[in-house]
Amino acid sequence: MKVAVVGATGLVGGKMLEVLEEKNFPITEMIPVASEKSLGKKIRWKDTDITVVGIKEAIAKKPEVALFSAGGNTSLTWAPQFVKAGIRVIDNSSAWRMDDTVPLIVPEINGDLLTKQDYLIANPNCSTIQLVMVLNPLNRRYGLDRVVVSTYQSVSGAGAKGIKQLTNERQGIGGEIAFPYPIDLNAIPQIDIFLENDYTKEEMKMINESRKILQIPHLKLTATCVRVPVLGGHSESVNITFKEDFDIGDVKQILSQTPGVIVVDNPAKQSYPMPLLVQNKDETYVGRIRRDESNARSLNCWIVSDNLRKGAATNAVQIALLMKERGIIG
């Protein structure tokens, strides 16, 4: 089938192309789409150089599905135009995630919600995906009461500009900046803009998206999101209070048996997930699993995932693969 990647020259768009090739997605024609400044550029796809086209030309080519990773404004403007032309859109921006008419999908959790009537599907925020991958199986067993999460998010979450700021600072050179302060040798407790409640937009994304995906509209969840000088991979320190008591051994077994989750937890061998260990991996890793001795029915854990893979590109491609598997496309 014909597939378009909108934002193909960006960090996540490039990763989408990579994952589509890795997963052997059945593509007869790849249509890389980007802004006007990138028109005519060549990108590499399956040992072939293909030409980047504009968004109107992409619609005219009538792909069956389009993976969007070009920012919220582009998605708000153009996703409806693709849908109007009969093209299914999987959108990686925050533009449509909280729209009640748009499914917000993590295939391992709520892929069963997808139907042939869905032409616009939202891909969740990177930090949300790895969190709910762990919360979902534990919620099914014990019931979630309250979740407190602190994130340690890599600079790649801010795109190529974020990576460039960190590498420039380490080399002692100036350049365009992605963050309001230096990031090297620093930790910035702000990701995205501040809202009226003094939470950042990233923090509220995590709260609202998790509630929607888990179908717990009043879940007590609070988040603090921090940018750290790591090139790739987001980490999360999570404290979970359940409605029922739990056994640590059972928790580890449940998570070990959850598709897409890998438990790395052996304190005696200093074994736990880290950003360096999860790069280019599609799974969500969890470790430091232990009872919170200060509060009944509470658990601490440490969750790490590659934010460009499962946190963005891989999840989007998995949605497309699931749609094909279910006969919605292809």
pLDDT tens digits, 226-264: 999 999 999 999 999 999 999 999 999 999 999 999 999
pLDDT at 36: 83
Phi, psi of 260, deg, nearest 5:
90, 0
pLDDT tens profile 282-300 = 999 999 999 999 999 999 9
pLDDT tens profile 116-132 = 999 999 999 999 999 99
Compute the average pLDDT of residues 57-68. 97
pLDDT at 47: 87
Q: Is the pLDDT of residue 305 over 90?
A: yes
Q: Do the beta carbons of residue 184 and residue 73 sit within 8 Å?
A: no
Q: Is the pLDDT of residue 152 over 90?
A: yes
Compute the average pLDDT of residues 160-164. 97
Q: What percent of the chain has pLDDT over 90?
A: 96
pLDDT at 175: 93
Q: Is the pLDDT of residue 38 over 90?
A: no
pLDDT at 66: 98
Mean pLDDT of the chain: 97
β pairing state of 120-122 and 88-91: parallel
Residue 301 appears among annotated catalytic residues: no
Compute the average pLDDT of residues 38-59. 92
Q: Is the pLDDT of residue 51 over 90?
A: yes
Q: Is the pLDDT of residue 179 over 90?
A: yes
Compute the average pLDDT of residues 182-196. 98
Q: Is the pLDDT of residue 40 over 90?
A: no
List, in order of start, the domains of the chain with CATH numbers. Answer: 2-124+312-325 (3.40.50.720), 127-307 (3.30.360.10)
To the question of pTM greater than 0.85 for the whole model, the response is yes
pLDDT at 112: 96
Q: Is the pLDDT of residue 81 over 90?
A: yes
- In 3D, which of 290, 247, 5 has the Cα closest to residue 142? 247
Compute the average pLDDT of residues 72-80. 96
Residue 225 appears among annotated catalytic residues: no
Q: How far is Cα 116 from Cα 113, in angstroms, rounded to an integer?
A: 10
* Residue 271 DSSP code: B
pLDDT at 330: 86
Residue among 218, 225, 234, 301 flagged as catalytic = 234
**Three-state SS for 143?**
coil
CB crowding 270-280: b at 16 or more within 10 Å, else e: eebbbbeebee
Q: Comparing 47 with 142, which gets the higher pLDDT? A: 142
Sheet holding 120-122, edge to edge: 29-33, 2-6, 65-68, 88-91, 120-122
Compute the average pLDDT of residues 177-200. 98
Query: Containing H/E element for 199?
Result: none
Residue among 126, 218, 225, 301 flagged as catalytic = 126
- Predicted confidence band at 35 (pLDDT cuts at 50, 70, 90)? confident
Q: How many CB atoms lie within 10 A of CB 22?
A: 14
